[in-house]
A and B are shown apart, each in its own frame.
Chain A
Amino acid sequence: MAVDIPAEVVQQEQVGPGLYRLSLYAPQITRSAVPGQFVYIRCTDNLDPLLRRPISIHGVNRERGELFLLYQVVGRGTALLAARRRGERLGVMGPLGRGFTLQAPGQRVVLVGGGIGVAPLVFLGQVLVQRNNQVCLLVGARSADQLPVGKEGYTAPFELAVATDDGSCGHHGPVTDLLEKILAGEGADMVYACGPRGMLHQTALLLARYDVPGEFSLEERMGCGVGACLSCVCKTAGKGGEPLQYRRVCVEGPVFPADQLVWD
């Protein structure tokens, strides 16, 4: 059950240029949060900017009641969030949305994260490893210093491969090159992805070509975060020729089956 609570900042850490890792004390949220869900945060107590910011859950420590968020400063809201310090309290609604469908133990899964889109995949990867899945995380970024995975991600017990646009770290080229190599080689039972729309579209094309199921976590501008305002919809088509429809990223998502998304 989602709650709206004043959550105390435990730690705010800059992990790269414009990249922050925030830890909040929010036991009511960590208790039930699953990978792929998000929280809706008030970045300021003032009315400008007005709206909360949706941020995916990067990890939880249920024993300590801590919620981890990895986010990028992209505008005034996230800049204000980055200025919040230990001991301050933020209005946090969550956990919200539908998370990833977990695979049966023993299956091989590939996680594809573009930029800050890697944030929810680290939480997912940790849970999948606990369930004895074989997990490989592919991370794409513009350059080495933009790699968004914090220390926790690098020490996580799963395979990791990196691609950068400028070749400053790992493969020189898009992260989907790495995915294609895997799909054409050893293959995968399931692919989960989160990142820029172009990367997700390319990933969807690869999944269709190699006939591998996938789930994508989407980002969209939100109003309410709970399904009331219909601002954050995405265009979907059901299987079997169901008509196109707008579905709410905040409640029917943010995670959708890859083959239901419409790319235009």
Chain B
Amino acid sequence: MTKPNLAVDVAGIRMKNPVTTASGTFGFGSEYAPFVDLNRLGAIVVKGTTLLPRQGNPLPRIVETPAGILNAIGLQNPGVNHFIEVALPYLRQFDLPVIVNIAGDTVEDYATLAARLDEVPGVAGLEVNISCPNVKKGGLAFGADPDSAAAVVRAVKGATRLPVVVKLSPNVTSIVRLAEAVVEAGADALSMINTLLGMAIDIRRRRPALANVMGGLSGPAIRPVAVRAVWQVYQALKVPIVGMGGIVTAEDALEFIMAGATAVAVGTANFINPRATTDIIEGIERFLVEEGVSDIQELIGAAHM
């Protein structure tokens, strides 16, 4: 059998395979370059970027939970200018689409970021982060309310010609309602899910384990929630979905694809296995060969009746 086709297209972002990185878990790429050939990735979604540099939250920022981690980084990043001047030129050496995750305190921040990145060669798309649970302003404040989420998406769409992927939070009553609102406002694709709001207590200190009290839960512990969210939104809407949440193996990634994801993002697994992304790409290819599937497209949403 000839090699199966792994290429996918997410709202105009052409990926040679369906595997990308989850924002905040892969830095700006250079951090993992000693371990992974970045050219092999379908795309890279970089660390959340804001207009101005951000300090982030106090320590401790991370705590382990059963098959997962809670984090409260608070969007520490060097700002969009640093990204454009330092991180992006590095990434341009590689043959992979760069998707920039953007976050703001106000609707205007998002529009300004989108406009700033629109002029920059080498940016393939934007991921709009309206679902970070760890920042006081912006973040989840936008992502938990369909009207606010739609307002952010309209502002971003009005400021850029780039494909706009909107990252949804699971910390809502109905993720389908939220998805409908942002798609109606112009979202070209959705990525889901961001972390689940969670908390842990240090019983010796009798205090919350994280300085920020609450944090975002990620890792294998959240995978069933994420697969469900992808399934529900795929059922309701015709929009490309980048699925993520606890993907560690190719089998996990295939669950998301069969639930309706066009592509998948690997997050926390990078911390355990720095080659998780490429191991997953190889595993998906192997599965396709074993199952006699010539094109990954055949599997997108395949679990739906």
Contact = CB atoms under 8 A, between A and B. Distances in A.
Interface stretch (B56-64, B117-125, B256-264, B293-301): B56-64
A224 interface: yes
Interface of B: 24-27, 31-32, 34-35, 47, 55-56, 59-64, 66-69, 71, 73, 76, 219-220, 248, 268, 270-275
A225 B271 contact: yes
A223 B25 CA distance: 9
A91 B273 CA distance: 9
A93 B274 CA distance: 9
A28 B151 CA distance: 53
A4 B274 contact: yes
Interface size of A as a range: 20 to 34
Interface string A70-105: 000000000000000000000101000000000000
A-B pairs, 9 with minimum CB distance? A228-B27, A231-B62, A228-B31, A227-B31, A224-B271, A226-B31, A48-B67, A230-B76, A231-B61
Interface of A: 1-4, 42, 47-52, 91, 93, 220-234, 244-246, 251
A3 B274 CA distance: 10
B64 to A, nearest CB: 5
Contacts of A2: 34-35
B27 A223 contact: no
B61 A233 contact: yes
A230 B61 contact: yes
B247 to A, nearest CB: 12
A70 B155 CA distance: 55
Contact of B34 (A3, A51, A224, A233): A3
A245 B68 contact: no
Contacts of A224: 25, 27, 31, 270-271
Contacts of B76: 230, 233, 246
Nearest to B71: A231
8 contacts: A3-B35, A42-B272, A47-B220, A49-B64, A221-B61, A221-B63, A230-B76, A245-B55
Contacts of B63: 221
B56 A230 contact: yes
B120 to A, nearest CB: 22
B59 A229 contact: no
Given A49-B64, A230-B56, A245-B55, A223 B35 contact: no
Contacts of A50: 64, 67-69, 219-220, 268, 271-272
Contact of A221 (B60, B268, B274, B275): B60
A223 B68 CA distance: 11
B272 A229 contact: no
Given A229-B71, A246-B76, A47 B31 contact: no
Contacts of B56: 230, 233, 246
A47 B61 CA distance: 20
Nearest to A264: B58
A51 B274 contact: no
Nearest to A76: B64
The residue in A3, A91, A221 that gathers the most chain B C-beta atoms within 10 A of its C-beta is: A221
A233 B74 CA distance: 12
A229 B23 CA distance: 9
A230 B31 CA distance: 11
A47 B35 contact: no
A51 B55 contact: no
Contacts of A222: 62
A222 B73 CA distance: 12
